[in-house]
Amino acid sequence: MEERARSCLLRFRHRLEQDIKPSYLMDHMVSDGVLSVDEEERIRTQDQAVALLELLLKKDNRAYISFYNALVKEAYDDLASLLQDDLPQMLPDAHNKSSDGSVAYVQAVLSEGGVPQRPVVFVNRPELVNRVREKLYRLLKEPGWVTVFGMAGSGKSVLAAEAVRDHRLIEECFPGGIHWLSIGQLDKPDLLVKIQSLCFRLEQSLDSQSLHRPSNSLDEAKERLRFLMLRRYPRALLILDDIWDSTVLKAFDIHCRILLTTRNRSLADSVSGAKYEVEVESGLDENKGLEILAKYTELNRLPEEARSIVRECKGSPLVVSLIGALLKEKPNRWDYYLRQLQQKQFKRIRKSSSYDYDALDQAMAASIEVLPDEHRELYKDLTVLEKDIKVPAKVLSVLWDLEAEEVEDILEEFVNKSLLFVDNHNKPYQYYLHDLQLDFLVEQNRTQLESLHTKVVHQYQQHYRDGPPTSGDEECLYWIRFLTYHMAKYFSFLAHHVSVGVCIKAQIMGPAHLINDYVEYGPILDKEVMRSQFQEFLSLNGHQLEQRPFPDVVQLALSEPRSSEVYRQALLQAQDRTSAG
């Protein structure tokens, strides 16, 4: 449902709940086909008005319109007039892209499915977009795979998001919605968590209140997803962004409709069903490259270096955008950036690679180089972030031991230079690195990873020496999810085994305790079995820690098998609690 319509329902929800008699309204909605008989029956068993509104909020524009019409038919004129101004535009010319209603509809579907927005500076690649759309239309009648492949930074993700930004395509091919999942390089436990989160998201959008227990294994998660897609989201499209590994793809081999982006063309060989592919050229043609530079620098006449820059990086959308962003800040550095690109001073450590990353690296190096020395050091600290993970400024203020305002200024600088991205949909703003930037940082700082992770752990310990963050703190969620990760990296690099046994304790007692414990007991807690049990427990339950209010970790852990170390530790904690009153 459009944002405007949903907001209107929320605004008047209370009044509607008080004044409507749902049974007649529901009859109209059922005959409009926006409410199923099952849903109607379920609503009848509850506080009907509340349940109807609750369900309506999860539905689409058509449901809003049908509800409005039902109000009119049942002579609730004053209530109908409340909703009237925000009626979504389902005009007969809705297919016309220029109509506001159509744009809003597409926007609503895409944001509901987590599809990223266009980059601020965007150039259209109509031929490529059409090629992808044409393949997507082949999924109209039967499930299958569309692989969008190409080198790093060639614009695959932007293209995938753009291809589905089309009213007709959504309506005709994917009325079940478009659901975006960022994958990246991950291991099996991470994959399990991803699929669980996806199922969780899909279930949340339905009316079901019941939360399933998380699946225990990848196979189980796969079955759950299969069931959801088949029964509840038929004809939906899943977009899997940045796949590296065929085992990941196999987990999604569930006879549904999938668009995937990858650097590896042959990935889909390992799965069954109809397959189509689109190659993304690594570079933009010269005019498009120049268009990006012109948009960033707001120049009508570009200097002659512009053409050389685009040629030098072979039109890589990523590099041109990075340099565009740099030039926006320092408009007189055309010659300098061109020379930076030409001097291939940076040697890649990665050996086997079918892609030419050189230009990318140089552009990245160039953009980091313009930072003042002390900021370059701070940027280096970001090497320890996980892919696709967004952090609030507060976490960085702990990491850097700087005042909030100073951190704000530094982050702003990074964002302006395209070195960092910001998600400003919600407050507090969240920051994240582009995958390639992170790859680049990790590669550059490979020998220092251990000390960088150590720094996080120490800064954390220092900052929270008087007590851990509380659940109301914006940064708390990050620490709950990732402190163990930083510690694991830190310790595994020290060639110790990671005992996650103490990590669970962190979630119960506050991680400051844990760090002390860890330093003290680390060497004797290194039993492999125990480690894997805790890791598994965390990966299975990790997503629940994203909920608010936070679940009781001890209770979660007590549902583990009695023979497990997780259970034993939780029992000890529970006994401690009881004896402490």
Which part of the chain contacts ligand ADP (CB under 6 A), choosing from 17-25, 148-156, 345-353, 487-495? Answer: 148-156
Q: Of 88, 101, 113, 155, which one interacts with ligand ADP (CB under 6 A)?
A: 155
Q: Per-residue string for binding with ligand ADP, 201-230, x by CB under 6 A?
A: ------------------------------
Q: Is 162 or 565 the residue whose CB approaches ligand ADP more closely?
A: 162
Spatial distance between the Cα atoms of 389 and 433, rounded to a whole number of angstroms: 8
DSSP H/E element including 218: helix 218-227
Asked if 154 touches ligand ADP (CB under 6 A), the answer is yes
3-class SS at 330? coil
One DSSP character per residue, 415-456 reads HHTTSSEEE-SSSSPEEE--HHHHHHHHHHTGGGHHHHHHHH
Asked if 567 touches ligand ADP (CB under 6 A), the answer is no
The whole-angstrom distance between residue 141's C-alpha and the CA centroid of its chain comes to 29
First to last CA, the chain: 49
Spatial distance between the Cα atoms of 487 and 515, rounded to a whole number of angstroms: 9
Strand partners, 147: 260, 277
Asked if 243 touches ligand ADP (CB under 6 A), the answer is no
Q: How far is CA 295 from CA 274, 300, 321, 542, in A?
A: 40, 9, 10, 42
Q: Of 35, 51, 80, 123, which one interacts with ligand ADP (CB under 6 A)?
A: 123
- The two tokens of residue 305 are 């270096």
Spatial distance between the Cα atoms of 146 and 167, rounded to a whole number of angstroms: 19
Q: Of 61, 66, 147, 157, which one interacts with ligand ADP (CB under 6 A)?
A: 157
Q: Is 439 or 565 the residue whose CB approaches ligand ADP more closely?
A: 439
Cβ proximity of 150 and 282 under 8 Å: yes
Q: Is 156 or 167 the residue whose CB approaches ligand ADP more closely?
A: 156
Asked if 121 touches ligand ADP (CB under 6 A), the answer is yes
Asked if 323 touches ligand ADP (CB under 6 A), the answer is no
Q: Is 9 or 123 the residue whose CB approaches ligand ADP more closely?
A: 123
Q: Of 262, 321, 569, 573, which one interacts with ligand ADP (CB under 6 A)?
A: 321
Q: Of 261, 383, 397, 459, which one interacts with ligand ADP (CB under 6 A)?
A: 261
With both helix axes pointing from N to C terminus, report the angle between 61-73 and 48-57 in degrees, rounded to the nearest 10: 140
Which part of the chain contacts ligand ADP (CB under 6 A), choosing from 52-60, 149-157, 201-209, 560-568? Answer: 149-157
Please tell me the count of residues contacting ligand ADP according to CB under 6 A: 19
Phi first, then psi, for residue 182 (nearest 5°) are -85, 130
Q: Per-residue string for binding with ligand ADP, 422-441, x by CB under 6 A?
A: ------------x-------
Q: Of 25, 110, 136, 152, which one interacts with ligand ADP (CB under 6 A)?
A: 152
Within 273-292, the residues that bind ligand ADP by CB under 6 A are 292
User: CB 415 → ligand ADP: shortest distance, Å?
Assistant: 13
User: CB 326 → ligand ADP: shortest distance, Å?
Assistant: 12
- The two tokens of residue 530 are 């125990």
Burial 437-449 (b: 16+ CB within 10 A, else e): bbbbbbbbbeeeb
Which positions ≥6 away from 331 have C-beta within 8 Å?
A: 297
Q: Is 184 or 510 the residue whose CB approaches ligand ADP more closely?
A: 184
Strand partners, 149: 262, 279
Asked if 340 touches ligand ADP (CB under 6 A), the answer is no
Strand partners, 351: none
Phi first, then psi, for residue 531 (nearest 5°) are -60, -45
Q: Per-residue string for binding with ligand ADP, 101-120, x by CB under 6 A?
A: ------------------x-
Residues that bind ligand ADP in the complex, under the rule CB under 6 A = 119, 121-123, 125, 150, 152-158, 261, 292, 317-318, 321, 434
